[in-house]
Amino acid sequence: MNTTTGKVTLLSAGPGDVDLLTLKAVKALAAADVVLLDDLANPDIVTLAPQARVIRVGKRGGCRSTPQAFIERLMRRYALKGLHVVRVKGGEALLFGRAGEELATLREAGIAVDIVNGISSGFAAAAGLGMSLTHRRHCHGVSFVTAHTEDHGEPDWAALAATRTTLAIYMGMRRIDSIAAALLAHLPAATPAAVVQWAGGSDERRLLTRLDRLAADALGAGFGSPAVILVGDAVGESAEAPWWERENRGEQGRDSLPAPVIARAA
């Protein structure tokens, strides 16, 4: 047995399309001895690590999941045996990926850690909608927020609405009713809103609507997790948005949007 301490790579697998992996990610997978595969990562990613032992460590909101403490013990155990462990995370590891907890555990054990960045589902959702998250005509930034907090509390929606940034809300489908209601107390009813399920994957579904109909339209169309909710005027610049063109022609505005726009990946 190799008694030299190995290392761990926290690898961001992106939103699902293997083609969106970075070259650095592909090289790390090729060198892996052990792959800990997240449930939201494309399972085909294991073909890039043909010599590695693959352990599935699924974590899904509202579903049966592998305990975080167990995942951290696995990383530590194999790295201390001198192996190269690649922890594959869906999306971007540093954005709502519990990377902070894993980094602390590994550093405490004296284990070297590499971080490979990837594309977060929030960016993939915007790409699918054909919009900029930071369109300067409508906002001066974007706020990434999770609706699934550790203490099961709610973010400060009033403060977030006051930023006038595009809101990219992760893990919010189970609370979409309360999220929409909270934001409606501080934003106009006609604020553009969207839900993108399985962003960046072959099964991607997109819904474009307005804030006061967000919950009803999303749930009525059968949207669920994993999904990203986008709220803000920049969403109205989506390639699938019908109301801005009517406004620019001086016709009825977005208050008369007749129905939500639902689309699938091409």
Give mean pLDDT in consecutive 10-residue pieces for the chain, a chain of 266 residues: 79 93 97 95 95 86 74 96 97 93 96 97 96 94 88 88 97 96 96 95 93 96 96 92 52 53 75
Say what percent of the chain tops pLDDT 70. Answer: 88
Identified catalytic residue from 17, 33, 59, 131: 59
Identified catalytic residue from 75, 131, 171, 173: 171
214/140 same-domain check: yes
112/127 same-domain check: no
- N-term to C-term CA, the chain: 49
Answer whether residue 2 is part of any domain: no
Predicted pLDDT at 255: 53
**Model pTM?**
0.88
Question: What are the b/e assignments for 140-173, b being 16+ CB within 10 Å?
Answer: eebbbbebbeeeeeebebeebbeeebbbbbbbbb
Position 224, amino acid: G
Domain that holds residue 91: 7-116
Q: What CATH number is given to the structural domain containing 170? A: 3.30.950.10
195/257 same-domain check: yes
Predicted pLDDT at 150: 67
Q: What CATH number is given to the structural domain containing 95? A: 3.40.1010.10
Confirm if 121 and 42 have CB atoms less than 8 A apart. no
Digit-coded pLDDT (tens) for 50-63: 999 999 997 655 55
Strand order, beta sheet including 227-231: 142-146, 166-170, 227-231, 192-197, 205-210, 261-264
143/235 same-domain check: yes
25/102 same-domain check: yes
Predicted pLDDT at 252: 47
140/245 same-domain check: yes
128/167 same-domain check: yes
Element (H, E) at 207: strand 205-210
Pairing of strands 227-231, 192-197: antiparallel
Predicted pLDDT at 7: 97
- d(CA 112, CA 103) in angstroms, rounded, equals 9
Predicted pLDDT at 240: 76
Look at the chain and report how many structural domains it folds into: 2
Q: Has 171 been annotated as catalytic?
A: yes
Confirm if 257 and 238 have CB atoms less than 8 A apart. no
Q: Has 38 been annotated as catalytic?
A: yes
Q: Distances in Å between the alpha carbon of 157 and those of 135, 204, 227?
A: 21, 27, 19
Answer whether residue 196 is part of any domain: yes
